[in-house]
Structure 1
Amino acid sequence: MTTLAAPHVPARLGRFVLRMFRPQIYVTYGLLWVLALEGTAVAATGTVWRPDGATAIRVVSVVLALLFLRMLDEQKDLAHDRVHHPDRPLVTGAITAGELRGAMVVITVLVTALNAARSAADALLILAALGYGLFLALLERLFPAVADRPLLGLAVTYPVQLLLSVYIYGSLATAGTVTADWRGAALLALCACVFLHFEFARKTAWEAPPGARLYSAELGPGRAAAVTAGFAAGAVVCEILLFAPRGPLALLPCLAAVLPAHGTRRFLAAGRGAWPLPVAIAFVVFTYLALTVLAVLLP
């Protein structure tokens, strides 16, 4: 990167973010994720929950961590993208690896400072997620099968999402807002099921285009559909465990189950094409939004 080019870096990064990290998707997801997990953690204890300044720090930290991981993925997938996605920014030169790494350093410093201002434990928890992402980059370089086999790749990459959930919940626990117990485990499982339902939905199809790394290519479309629906069912079970004793209103998030049921029916009935992704996205949004509303309404 030359000195002459340096003034153009923010604009190049901005264009990268708008294309590869669409704010309307990733920022909304990060916001709903934090609000739902934090609100549910507090409401499940019978305590009134209201978002505050600490909530804002968690939202900013999670969104920036997702951006960090997206920038890392862009670099990890470069060889694959040169063949199958030649229009990606890193392939075309719209952004460079050096610019992405520089932005990742800035993100690391920023999230560390934000969380260290609250507690050392918060800073370590968010750094654990970023550090695991970097470890994965090394792992995929040493063992290409991790990237080439979707199910194996998911098994080793999913912990990044889990670590971010642990960061949110752990931040609440270290602040004394909640006491870590079985409800925390059920809540982490709920968020895992919501994410994995969407993750399987976006990589399940009857046909596998060249270069596509689909779970259905390994499991078969029928079994992949069953797993996709199973994760949605798992989320509903976790919601019932957490809220069933609190009355009918507490089961509001369970209404989201109609979405994966509809998606499963459509996919199996069609016998071709991909899983109806908008339905899977709606399941994530409705579930997290319902959990957030419930946390505000419950006494």
Structure 2
Amino acid sequence: MTTVAAPRVPARLGRFVLRMFRPQIYASYGVLWVLTLEGSAVALTGTPWRPSGATWVRAVSVVLALLFLRMLDEQKDLAHDRVHHPDRPLVTGAITAAELRGAMAVITVAVTALNAARSATAALLLLAALGYGLFLAVLERLSPAVRDRQLLNLAVTYPVQVLLGVYVYGSLVAAGTIHADWRGAVLLALCACVFLHFEFARKTSWEAPPGARLYSTDLGPRRSAAVTAGLAAGAVCCQVPLFASGGPLGLLPCLAAALPAWGTRRFLAAGSGGWPMAAATGFVVVTYLALTVRAVLLP
């Protein structure tokens, strides 16, 4: 029985990835995030930036880390999904928890080997992010408040994204590509605001469907919209001290703020439905693409 089932595991994992991780979205986001963070960090030193082999190691590592965390989330949310999302792969048996854990172990070995070959510091920073994710799985199982209260859950879980950003920035420092200074913290804050704008947008709605975990349920639609818009404004505010020395051209990525401004106006005017996700997604893509292009053209 085992010899027959074993060859099916890669196919089952592949179907899980295509459905629950959607590489065209998550992998694209991970790569673009790394290019933006690395490119901007290097460009701020006045050095021309071009992607290198180390860049792609960081990008692959972040994408695999995001997949690791997605597999972990699938297991953490199993009880909730049995009630509200009975078609999820882990609920239906299309994948098993053991198979996901096995894949997570392979990912851990792969990213450790990729990074240790270049820098022990980079490997340790990445393992810290994965380790924090595992800690969260235990914490959510032990604490119903952390598991069920959306804002508390965000406050506790979001640092794993910060740790991935610290991995990218810290690996650049460890490699001697840049020297750490205050601009690193502002750059990480910029990326946090961009991501959290999208995170709040996708969980802000005038109505709450059964089983939905929305920030607007706790805050109310208008206050949740205000936070969503404020995070986009925060991203723009972070860009000013970083890139104002480059003149008007250096601040062109700030024009992406037109998208969340439009999204806010449309959400509030509609009085029903959810946040316009095209605007939120566009803000992430346009901001990161513009910052990456800026890093290449305007060091």
TM value normalised by structure 1: 0.99
Matches within 5 A, 1:1-299: 2-299=2-299
Displacement, 1:282?
0.7
Classify the secondary structure of the residue corresponding to 2:7: helix
Indicate the RMSD between aligned Cα atoms, in angstroms: 0.8
What code does the residue aligned with 1:204 have? T
Q: Alpha-carbon deviation of 1:241?
A: 1.1
Q: Which amino acid aligns with 1:172?
A: L
Partners of 2:38 and 2:92 in 1: CA distance? 40
After TM superposition, give the deviation of residue 148 of structure 1 in Å. 0.7
Counterpart Cα distance in 2 of 1:189 and 1:262: 23
Letter in 2 for 1:36: T
Q: Distance in 1 between matches of 2:292 and 2:81?
A: 37
CA distance in structure 2 between the partners assigned to 1:136 and 1:105 by the alignment: 17
Tell me by how many angstroms 1:16 deviates: 0.3
Cα-to-partner distance string for 1:232-291 (whole Å, 9 max, x where unaligned) = 000001111100111111011101000000000000000000001111011000000000
Give me the identity figure in percent: 81
Per-residue CA deviations over 1:15-70 (Å, capped at 9, x if unaligned) read: 00000000110111001000000000011111111110000000000000000000
SS of residue matched to 1:247: helix
Whole-angstrom CA distance in 1 between matches of 2:239 and 2:200:
20
Give, in whole Å, the separation in 2 of the partners of 1:3 and 1:279.
49
Q: For residues 102-121 of structure 1, what are the alpha-carbon distances to aligned partners after superposition, in whole Å with 9 as ceiling and x for unaligned?
A: 00000000000000000110
> Matches of 1:102 and 1:77 in 2, distance apart?
18
The alpha-carbon deviation at position 144 of structure 1 amounts to 1.7
For residue 232 of structure 1, give the secondary structure of its aligned residue in structure 2.
helix
- The one-letter code matched in structure 2 to 1:239 is Q
TM-score, scaled relative to structure 2: 0.99
Unaligned runs of 5+ in 2: none
Deviation at 1:129, TM superposition (A): 0.5
- Distance in 2, Cα, partners of 1:179 & 1:258: 33
Structure 2 Cα separation of the partners of residues 247 and 278 of structure 1: 30
- Secondary structure class of the residue paired with 2:212: coil
Deviations 1:188-224 (A, max 9, x none): 0000000100000000000111111100000000000
Q: Give the aligned residue type for 1:214.
A: L
Q: Which amino acid aligns with 1:37?
A: L
Q: Counterparts of 2:176 and 2:75 in 1: how far apart (Å)?
A: 39
| Amino acid paired to 2:232 | A
Aligned AA (1:186): V
Q: In structure 1, what is the Cα distance between the partners aligned to 2:279 and 2:60? A: 27
The offset of 1:3, in angstroms, is: 3.4
Q: Secondary structure at the match of 2:140?
A: helix
Give unpaired runs (5+ residues) of structure 1: none
| Secondary structure, aligned partner of 1:275 | coil
